[in-house]
Amino acid sequence: MNTRHPFSDPELAAPLLRRLEKAITRPFAFMEVCGTHTVALFRTGIASLLPPGLTHLSGPGCPVCVTHDSEIAAAISRAARQDVSLATFGDVMRVTDPDGRSLKTAKANGASIAVVYSPLEALDLARASPDKNVVFLGVGFETTAPTVAATILAARAQNLGNFMVLSCHKLVPPALRLLLEGPECGVDGFLLPGHVSTILGLAPYEFIATEFKRPAVIGGFEATDLLKALIALVEEADSPAPRVLNEYGRGVSPQGNPKAREIMHTVFAPAPARWRGLGVIPDSGLALRPEFAAFDALERLEITLPDVKTIPGCRCGEVLSGRMRPPDCPLFGKACVPASPIGPCMVSTEGSCAAYY
Ligand code: SF4
């Protein structure tokens, strides 16, 4: 018999679970915005212990998953150029475009593509390869964008003319607004992302409570963090004035990280961005400001995002907007598995479909 308890701290988690069960007085659907929360709900065992009536929906918080097919296609096409070396994070490599091409297959066919763990490594590559234009493919949210901005500032300070960034960054609050404005929004409250919130703090989410009368709670990633956040969400939901709360105080300060935001806004300005499954959302992306045009791959390599087909049969768009749970995709666990993924939600370690699988 397997006696391993799903919690590392069962004596703390068990009473919280009982409190959550008591707090549920009606059906309640919350969205865990961040892919790491989806993974944490399964890793800790909480997903299988949620009280009846409490449903969790995945949100648009996996950076690789929300990167649009047209952004992947643009990166693949530029990586094929002889004068270009592309650098990016590992998860993006296996995302396929609708024709089945990926950065991984492009690399196998001879394109110069490097997997890096930090944008600063791409700067090292640029220094070591003066004959190449080194393009860092920047995907991710407010968590990664400040580091990429700092790298651009470093490139400018070092006069590195062969380093540039293809900015596919996305901002979380505009996506949540879009979901809330949708006529089909079945979300009663948001479990807000722990990592993004270390940068943002609480203020950028206030509209969820003030305009849309929904609660939103920043949560951590351990079993007790998740349970505390869920209890707060459920308790706030029936309040006449639901609030935005922080239940991850050891990681997130109410004001976030102003220095990181300052660096991010020095280099980037909000711009429209294409999201997988959500379409174009105004002011939800980050474009390089004109004074940093020398580091902007869109400008330097004359990139226009192409119109692309969608991946046949893949329902990632619906999964990312909480309109479908991964097991309800007809391809889930059949044609689409982590070893041979069809959509990005099965590719990424933070992807909902991979987490459910
Ligand atoms: Fe896309 Fe695969 Fe998830 Fe279906 S199971 S939504 S095909 S990633």
Instruction: Give the residue whose CA is nearest to atom 5 of ligand 1.
Output: 332
Residue 230 near residue 20 (C-beta atoms within 8 A): yes
In DSSP notation, 42-54 reads: HHTSHHHHPPTTE
Q: What percent of the chain has pLDDT over 70?
A: 97
Q: Which of 64, 66, 331 to mutate to test the pocket of ligand 1 (most atoms within 8 A of CB)?
A: 331
Closest CA to 306 of 79, 76, 140, 80: 76
Our mutation pick for probing the ligand 1 site, out of 57, 66, 329, 357, counting the most ligand atoms within 8 A of Cβ, is: 329
Contact 173/207 with Cβ under 8 angstroms?
yes
pLDDT tens readout for residues 23-47: 999 999 999 999 899 999 999 999 9
Q: What is the mean pLDDT of residues 319-343?
A: 92
Report d(CA 330, CA 60) in Å as an integer.
Answer: 20
Average of pLDDT values for 6-30?
84
pLDDT above 90 covers what percent of the chain?
77
Find the 354 Cα to ligand 1 centroid distance in Å: 9
User: What are the CA-CA distances from residue 49 to residues 16, 176, 226 (Å)?
Assistant: 12, 26, 12
Query: What is the structure's pLDDT at 3?
Result: 42
CA–CA distance, 124 with 254 (Å, rounded to integer):
35
The three-class DSSP label of residue 67 is strand
What is the rounded CA–CA span in Å between residue 291 and residue 294?
8
Atom of ligand 1 nearest to the CA of 351: 8
Name residue 189's amino acid.
Answer: G
- For residue 256, pLDDT over 70 is answered with yes
Average pLDDT over residues 239-262: 96
pLDDT at residue 220, as a whole number = 95
What pLDDT does 4 receive?
A: 45
Mean pLDDT of 167-175: 97
Ligand 1, atom 8: closest residue by C-alpha: 343
Instruction: Give 123-165 pLDDT, tens digit per residue.
Output: 999 999 999 999 999 999 999 999 999 999 999 999 999 999 9
| Residue 302 CB-density burial (10 A; 0-12 exposed, 13-18 middle, 19+ buried) | exposed
The pLDDT of residue 62 is above 50: yes
**Quick check: CB of 316 below 6 Å from ligand 1?**
yes
Distance CA 156, CA 108 (A): 32
pTM over 0.85: yes
**Main-chain phi, psi angles of 142, to 5 degrees:** -60, -20
Q: Is 319 in the pocket of ligand 1 (CB under 6 A)?
A: yes
187 lines ligand 1 (CB under 6 A): no
Which residue's structure tokens are 């390599």? 301
Q: Exposed, middle or buried by CB within 10 Å (0-12, 13-18, 19+), for 309?
A: exposed
Whether the pLDDT of residue 8 is over 60: the answer is: no
Interval between CA 322 and ligand 1 midpoint (Å): 13
Question: Are 315 and 329 spatial neighbours (Cβ–Cβ below 8 Å)?
Answer: yes
Give the residue whose CA is nearest to atom 3 of ligand 1: 353
